[in-house]
Structure 1
Amino acid sequence: MYKNDFPFFKNSSVTYLDNAATTQKPQAVLNKILEYYTNYCSNTHRSNHGDANKATKEFEETRTILKEFINAKDESEIIFTKGVTESLNMVASIFAKEFKTIIISSIEHHSNITPWHMQNRTLHQGLEVVNIKENLEFDFEHFEELLKANPNSFVSITHVSNAFGVKHNIKKIAKLTHKYNSYLMVDGAQSLAHFEIDVQDLDVDFYAISSHKTYGPTGVGALYVKQELLEKLKTYQTGGATINDVNFQRSLMLSSPYKFEAGTQNIADVIAFKEALKYIKNIGYKTIHTIEEEIYSYLHNELKKIENIILYNNVENSIVSKSFNIKDINSEDIGILLDKMHIAVRAGHHCAQPIMKKLNIDGTIRVSIAFYNTKEDIDIFIKALKKAITMLKD
């Protein structure tokens, strides 16, 4: 029934099962974007006329709502970025670069690997990687060994793997990280759409958030920074809207979050992001979890019935995404055929090549669901998948 809230499903014949890549947008989000551009299109935090004041008010309301949504202490802890990738790069380049050792997990997105390579860090040369167990779970024993050997490190871990849907126990990771006088950043790109985030309860130092994977617009994200670290976080970019006072001798910056938001922001989409958050709150995480858990379990059980299927992640330690292969069939070939049958999934390495190489595969077929998906979507997909397998075997 929730599909009625999303114009995409009224205008497309596609069975959409690629939600880990991006989610569809409810009408309320689209309306808010149009409202800004047609009714009060003005720059924020600058002019003092009516429309500019309204734009600033609407923009800052998103910050307030997001602060409440993740239970941050203060609006100053919420910095708008263009997405999780920029948030991770920002912290990597202006805070974490001072640390001798960076620790990441084995199932990170490239966005949490390549920023460290840009600092000339490689495995065992400033970069350490936590092992994974056979079921792709985080190896806490190895993690603590790394922390013991490298105290005062910077840890950067995904909350939910984009490639496999494996969910990490961030609260436990944070406790161990702080035990060894280290800092923790979390890639939360795959999280906020599916379950509640409480940054104070998790006790994370940095948490990166995506809008477009959370039913909001593309090109928008946010970075949560624990309040006591805001002064340690140096300015990333400078320019318009970051300045308190300037002369030709020096520049004095505003306080957080404004000193981190240089230039004209993605105003319309930041404003619309709050409509996505309101939409999620309206439905409630309890409802979202119940629906997604049922569809996920159904998907898993239907996939298990397919001959020669190779499943990589367990239902018990994962959410919403199933990655698999069919023995002796290339994942990309299946993806192409599914597309011809109007099924949207993702095939390939999912920007996670290191874990694919560790598993000795080129990639997987990934089915990722959202609460608007139904068992009928899964049935359509399974039927098309069986047809694709038959075609490729002939």
Structure 2
Amino acid sequence: MTITATSLPTSEEQDGTVKYARVGSLELEAGGFLPDVVLAYETWGKLNADASNAVLVEHALTGSTHVARGASDEEGWWEQLVGPGATIDTNRFFVISINIVGGCYGSTGPSSQAPDGKPWGSRFPLVTLRDSTVAEARLADALGIRQWHAVLGGSMGGARALEWAVTFPNRVERCAVISVGAYSTAEQIAFAQAQTLAIRQDPNFNNGDYYHGPAPETGLALARRIAHITYRSALELDLRFGREAQPQEKPLTAAVLGERGRYQVESYLDHQGTKLVRRFDANSYIAITEALMSHDVRRGRGPLKEALSRATAQFFVAAVNSDRLYFPAQSHELAEALPGDVPVHIIEAPIGHDGFLTEIGQLAGQLGAAFFAEDFSRS
């Protein structure tokens, strides 16, 4: 099997530019097969001589690989942590973020061409987070990275980081798992099923083969509305919107249901749905959501403590105190089952689950002291 990747960046201007690597065929955990997998990725900084300064940052469900600014001035989603002089200082560390298999930001996914030249569509196989980790390990091989200084992520990114530490224990020195537990719970699977069903029931879905016709935008927007309610706390929604109506759209002034106006929170959810439709593929949303539903570090490995005993990394576990999607209790369960004494760091934020994005700066000092104080200046 030949694995090819574009060359490593040689100048600062190349930071934050999407690159591509072919990592070969992939036998999938659920029995499916992908014959030619491409991974899209972005990098920042330079890999040192012994490749000991490599850091993998895993994106969340609908996130991209654009963690920080680079060749363009487009803001990244973890600017509070990654960049020149930041906690993960790209003057010292080589940072990489990889688009998950099944995604729509350049990696092989349902909208990619299958061997027959047509989009995979309904034929795209079930890919688990464990499968994605295997593909990412091949990319690391192609780049000459035998061991990560650290792997970290929030939400689904945290689940991916945990899977890395358990699947390839000798390749992960440090692992940060933020705002996610050791497995997806029944409630989380229930929320996810409602989202995927919203897409599948869109009249334009066509069993996933919609690429030569109208896309299932209504279903995708509805899925995003459902998800976004879980990403924000009740307090956040109450403080921002309360029971206020949109201007000139009073909900209680219409004579019939079909003509009533909207509350401000409804308008907000409509906006979130519209934004996602503009940048994301509906089939990829299903594929990645199914991958997150599959998240269970125990699968095939025994009880939780036994499964986690495979890991040799130093762990950093954190939760958002107001999270109602991945409750802090799940982070505590994970930390207690990990080898050694692993504390749970808390992000204090009223916003809810999305605090792992908006308030990640609260962890900068603790994470920096634990993982990123090492000096690579002589490497």
Determine which structure has the larger helix proportion and give its number. 1
Provide TM-score, normalisation by structure 1.
0.27
Provide TM-score, normalisation by structure 2.
0.28
Q: Which has the higher contact order (CA 8 A, sep 6+)?
A: 1
Greater radius of gyration (CA): 1
